Amino acid sequence: MTDTAAPSYAPSYVDPARPPRKKWRLVRGVWKFLVAIKDALVLIAMLLFFGLIFAALNARQSTTAIKDGALVLDLNGSIVEQPEEQAAFAALSGQSRTRQFRLRDVVRSIDTARTDARVKVVVLDLDSFGGAYPAALGEVSDALARVRASGKPVLAYATAYTDGGYRLAANASEIWVNPLGGTIFMGPGGNQLYYKGLIDKLGVNAHVYRVGRYKSFVEPYTRADQSEDAKAASTALYGTLFAQWREAVAKARPKAQIAQFMTAPDKVILSANGNIAEANLRAGIVDKLGDRTSFGRRVAEIAGSDANKPAGNYTAIKYDAWVKANPLPTAGDSIGVLTIAGEIVDGESGPGKAAGKTIEKAVLDGLAKKTLKALVVRVDSPGGSVMASEQIRLAILEAKRQKLPVVVSMGGLAASGGYWVSTPADVIFAEPGTITGSIGIFGVVPTFENALAKIGVTSDGVKTTPLSGQPDITGGTTPMFDAIAQAGIENGYRQFISRVAASRKMTPARVDEIGQGRVWDGGTARQIGLVDRFGTLQDAIDEAAKRAKLDPAKVHAEYLEKKPGFLATIAQGFGNDGDDDAGGGDAFTHVAADRRQMLARAVGDMKRLATSGSIQARCLECGGMGPTTAGIGDAKLLDLLLARIGF
């Protein structure tokens, strides 16, 4: 018989200060999770750090001396008064973006190329040109004409020219087009989206309060089609601007048979068996047919090339390097230049939007230095918030209180709120193609009581006064609120009228007659007294210097705008090496791209209606003649919308 040890049932000793094993597992798990988060954050930070270094190296302009060659203006985007600030990490994330070129930089680059012996030829690459307002196109075209008149060649190339692109190319010594491309001129105009049917189906009530017979900005939300008044005003505006386009093209290329492409393009193209490029050549609209390689060989004949590189290469001077090598002058007395570009909005914003608080600060900070001898206000805006417009106007008046001359220079457009901020001027300059006027205001308040009722949601409550809870977006507005809102809009219009009347030395009745929300071209605006003279920004600076009793040749422009930060500078330069070719496609590809941009702007308009202040001074017609590329925010919003619905 063997002895077996009895099992021990004695409990093991447990340290009361020691937590149970399950709790230790939980603590260790949490710790591992926190360490993983820390490691991930460190990895992300390192990736961003090295990405920024890479971006900075790519964005940094070459410091080597500029050599003889062709100045290449690869205008793969739109020309604007003030480019929007790029998101700092957009390039690192691989997001595609459309570039915006600052008008004054483009003009300066062309003018300096005219007199610089290192530039043998100016090359216009317009394959992906995104357009500009007529006044901006005119200013760039005039600069190109000066180069051509000096005897220096200007060569233009595109697969297909837009109307705006051809406005520039017409001033070239040689216009090239791809044999498989070609240009069909569209002219201004086209359909505008109207949302009344959609709004009704959704059960949304758009309560509109407005003054101005021609104030048509709200029509897409209240009608299914364009009113007769709005149609008549747009017909007159577009007709005048299109006539200016035809006149400018005819002056630059008198032998080009443009008329037949306007009246019967089908006959011209069919007679060429559908070969649009050949039809363009026969009509003298272009000078040469050829692909990029052939065009490159032609440029190389003038600018030189590198025998070790592929066929079609030529010695190029890049636009960004040229602009950097030709900075704005800084000698002499300072003339402040305040830029009011883009939609006028409340609060603060970056470049490309005219934010009331931001611009007010720029003006007051500039005046506080006590070095400015005069103030030039450069306006390129379709308007926006009335409150922000008044905030900007009062800031400009501070310059007048300090006895500084104030001169307004209107760019592509200065309409509605853009005209409101122009009223403090001693003198107003514009271009014949400037879009201005639109003196009128409106307000829109959407309510959703019908939409909620469709899903069985109603609203009720206690009101202590007739205006309690108004405007009620869930229950609708009351007749009393509607009456007060309309009275407020009418009062705002009277203030607008009085400011214009005092500025232009007219009676309020006369301003009301030419106001009513009517949009005018710059030539007509001068005839009816809304502007004083034709001229560029430089003409306005010269006038401001004279009014300050200074020699215009001995002053410089000091731009009162926030300098881009480090990250924004990197984002702006990253990817702008000009090596990628975003162009291509036939004429119909370019037309389709333009329609997509129109859709993006429409989506952006709907967002702005829902998020902007309710009282607005904004112009609808202005968008029909501007850049064909949508703003950065509108393009992103469209991409997001299409992604959500599966496109």
Burial class (CB in 10 A: 0-12, 13-18, 19+), 27: exposed
Residue 614 located in a structural domain: no
The residue type at 636: K
CATH number of the domain residue 84 falls in: 3.90.226.10
Residue 125 located in a structural domain: yes
Q: If we measure between CA atoms, which residue out of 351, 412, 397 comes closest to residue 564?
A: 351
Put simply, whether the predicted model's pTM sits higher than 0.85 gets the answer no
Distance CA 18, CA 25 (A): 13
Weakest-pLDDT range from 332-336, 405-409, 570-574? 570-574
Residue 129 located in a structural domain: yes
Residue 417 has pLDDT above 60, yes or no: yes
Residue 112 located in a structural domain: yes
User: Active-site residue among 152, 215, 318, 353?
Assistant: 215
Weakest-pLDDT range from 136-145, 399-408, 435-444? 435-444
Distance CA 600, CA 582 (A): 19
Residue 126 located in a structural domain: yes
Q: If we measure between CA atoms, which residue out of 614, 615, 634 comes closest to residue 623?
A: 634
Residue 11 has pLDDT above 90, yes or no: no
Q: What is the 3-state secondary structure (H, E, C) of 257-319?
A: CCHHHHHCHHHHHHHCCCCHHHHHHHCCCCCEECCHHHHHHHHHHHHCCCCCCCCCCCCEEEH
pLDDT for res 244: 96
Average pLDDT over all residues of the chain: 85
In this predicted model, what pLDDT tens digit does every residue of 435-457 receive, in sequence order? 999 999 988 888 889 888 888 98
In this predicted model, what pLDDT tens digit does every residue of 588-616 receive, in sequence order? 455 555 545 555 555 555 555 555 555 66
Instruction: Tell me the residue range of the domain where 312 lies.
Output: 66-183+286-327
Weakest-pLDDT range from 59-63, 134-138, 196-200? 59-63
Q: Tally Cβ neighbours within 10 Å of residue 461.
A: 9
Query: What percent of the chain is predicted at pLDDT more than 70?
Result: 78
Q: Return the higher-pLDDT residue of 593 and 130.
A: 130
Distance CA 445, CA 609 (A): 9
Residue 320 located in a structural domain: yes
Residue 61 has pLDDT above 50, yes or no: no
In this predicted model, what pLDDT tens digit does every residue of 240-291 receive, in sequence order? 999 999 999 999 999 999 999 999 999 999 999 999 999 999 999 999 999 9
- What is the count of structural domains for the chain? 1
523-550 average pLDDT score: 98
Q: 590 with 130: CB under 8 angstroms?
A: no
Check if 614 is active-site. no
Q: How many helices (H) and strands (E) does the chain have?
A: 23, 22
Residue 628 located in a structural domain: no
User: Active-site residue among 381, 416, 503, 614?
Assistant: 416
423-434 average pLDDT score: 98
pLDDT for res 522: 97
pLDDT for res 1: 45
Residue 573 located in a structural domain: no
Q: Which residues 6+ apart lie within 8 Å of 577 measured at CB? A: 58, 318
What's the pLDDT band for 8 if we cut at 50, 70, 90? very low
Q: Return the higher-pLDDT residue of 512 and 581.
A: 512
529-545 average pLDDT score: 98
Q: Which residues 6+ apart lie within 8 Å of 296 measured at CB? A: 305, 311, 312, 313, 314
HSE (CB half, 13 Å, CA atoms) of 251? 12
E strands, 159-253, in order:
174-177, 205-211
